[in-house]
Structure 1
Amino acid sequence: MAVQNLRPLIGGRILRGSQPFGMDAAATSEFLDHHGIQAVVDLRSGYERAISPWHLENHEVDLVENPLDPRLASAGLDAIHTAEDLAELYLGWVRARPGWVADSLRPVTQGKRTLIHCSLGKDRTGVVSAVALLAIGTAHRDIVADYAASTEALPAMLQTMAAAWRLAIPEVPEDAFSPSLMLLQSPGAAMEYFLEGFTREFGSATGFLRDAGLSAAELDSLRGV
């Protein structure tokens, strides 16, 4: 088992990926050392972390627990049926929790090679990654491509996650992790709609992050200035 759906952003200063699937202390140590990770930003809620915890004992790695529980941060996950619905979910997060986005990126602004992850590494991680990429001037088409790249990894991750959840919570419905659910997909159209809405509402990502609490020096560091 391992962190899946893993790929670098902004010159490798950010790694985005999934939760640690079944990693013991030895596997964790090997993973962190191999990738030179200095900070881990965990966007999962407490109940998610309990099912697939990190084993960071004896590691000089900053663990930043910055949770966003999708069940509580949305009017209803059951209403996600289209790519636009998925994008509106994401827009709701940045409207309600701009500081959550800024705090997710703060270790990067401190010069630390940072793993940012949630459960599958596509939704919460996708939103934070998209804003970071916007802030450094990445073209929309490239941000969409990065988001859609999660699609290939999803089937295997969903099987692994379903097994872990059913072991911890036997009453989880059989179809809770069905790949047919829009909530568990990563269509490029969802990110296109999100980027259009974000730009329309907030203008620039740097302005959004400044208003969310990042200083000018932190923004310069994020952009590699």
Structure 2
Amino acid sequence: MTGGASKAHERRVELDGMLNVRDLGGMPAAEGKQVRSGQILRMDSPQFMTESAAGTLLGGGFRTVLDLRYPTESEQEGIGFLAHERIRHVNVPIASSDNQTAPGLRQMLEAAEGQPPAEVVYEYYQGYFTTANGKAITTAVREMANADSLPLIVHCAAGKDRTGCVVATALSAIGVPDEVIADDYAASADAVPAIVARLHGLGTYGDIDQTTVDLQRTRAETMLLVLQWLKDEHGGARRFLLERGMTEDELERLEALLLVDADEDVA
């Protein structure tokens, strides 16, 4: 485990009922800055959160649930006790293709027998950025740049794929190093077996089972490939967002909201 990965595990947040929650706070950025604590939590689906845990987040001032699941997932599974009058539930579906799940990640992995899983998952993730020209990713990052939306919770089903790519794009755009972003993404790996078991019990995710656990694990190499692809094909995350409608003012606001001097971080 690299030092960055160790730091990612230190940012894990324990919330009853949840399996994969981390605060983005503490990640280093350029010019002596770091991500501010207590502004964005990334997590698996909050539908499993206990009422007490939801109360903790409400008491902490969280205002927005940014839900990256498909509309059918969002409607059928919900957000549990976070469905509260003080919470805005914003659904921005992140799809891997125009047909949403087809080809699904499992199908791609099984069809690419012999190819390293990290490379196959990376190819699948490209779909998030190319489907509808990546406008959904831009919309999700724009929500993070809205002061009225913060503090914010961002999630999908497992909190690793769609969430991982949206979070990586936002972090890269404000100057967090690739290695740090990749380590944070990889930190979801330990939670994958329990997440797979839980999702398999829901009708929405019946095709996910224990045979997929190793293929579903997050690997730092996957996110490094994604970030390099963004640089090679689009000039980096910042340029990707600008070319899809975000403005320099919005990106500067994202930096102002999420970054703080490393010696002044206040949750």
Alpha-carbon offset, residue 183 of structure 1: 5.0
Report how many residues are paired: 218
Q: Contact 2:83 / 2:89 at 8 angstroms: preserved in 1?
A: no
Are residues 1:150 and 2:175 paired? Answer: no
Correspondence for 2:58 among 33, 41, 49 = 33
C-alpha separation between the residues in 1 aligned to 2:101 and 2:136? 15
Letter in 1 for 2:130: R
3-state SS of paired residue (1:101): helix
Alpha-carbon offset, residue 178 of structure 1: 2.1
Letter in 2 for 1:86: V
Letter in 1 for 2:23: P
Letter in 1 for 2:121: L
Higher mean C-alpha deviation, range 66-75 or range 208-217 = 66-75
Structure 2 match to 1:11: 36
- Give CA deviations for 1:55-94 in whole Å, capped at 9, x if unaligned: 4454222211111344724652201252111101111211
Correspondence for 1:109 among 145, 149, 163 = 145
Structure 1 match to 2:124: 89
3-state SS of paired residue (2:243): helix
- Give CA deviations for 1:39-59 in whole Å, capped at 9, x if unaligned: 111011123224421244542
- Give CA deviations for 1:131-170 in whole Å, capped at 9, x if unaligned: 111111111111110010000111122222222x1xx46x
C-alpha separation between the residues in 2 aligned to 1:122 and 1:179? 18
Letter in 2 for 1:187: R
Are residues 1:172 and 2:206 paired? Answer: yes
Q: Contact 1:158 / 1:179 at 8 angstroms: preserved in 2?
A: no
Q: Contact 1:74 / 1:92 at 8 angstroms: preserved in 2?
A: no
3-state SS of paired residue (1:40): strand
Higher mean C-alpha deviation, range 57-66 or range 185-194 = 57-66
Change (3 A) 1:73 1:198: farther
Change (3 A) 1:48 1:135: same
Alpha-carbon offset, residue 127 of structure 1: 0.4
- Give CA deviations for 1:161-208 in whole Å, capped at 9, x if unaligned: 222x1xx46x935xx322645652211111121111111001122111
Q: Contact 2:156 / 2:162 at 8 angstroms: preserved in 1?
A: yes
Are residues 1:186 and 2:215 paired? Answer: no
RMSD between aligned residues: 2.4
Alpha-carbon offset, residue 103 of structure 1: 1.1
Change (3 A) 1:79 1:33: same
C-alpha separation between the residues in 1 aligned to 2:247 and 2:88? 21
Structure 1 match to 2:71: 46
Q: Contact 1:18 / 1:117 at 8 angstroms: preserved in 2?
A: yes
Normalising by structure 2, we get a TM-score of 0.73
What are the within-5 Å matches in structure 2 for residues 118-157 of structure 1?
118-157=156-195
Unaligned runs of 5+ in 2: 1-15, 25-34, 258-267
C-alpha separation between the residues in 2 aligned to 1:162 and 1:180? 11
Structure 2 match to 1:2: 17
Q: Contact 1:83 / 1:182 at 8 angstroms: preserved in 2?
A: no
Q: Contact 2:19 / 2:191 at 8 angstroms: preserved in 1?
A: yes
Q: Contact 2:22 / 2:41 at 8 angstroms: preserved in 1?
A: yes
Letter in 2 for 1:62: R
Structure 1 match to 2:4: none
Q: Contact 1:74 / 1:89 at 8 angstroms: preserved in 2?
A: no
Q: Contact 2:95 / 2:131 at 8 angstroms: preserved in 1?
A: no
Unaligned runs of 5+ in 1: none
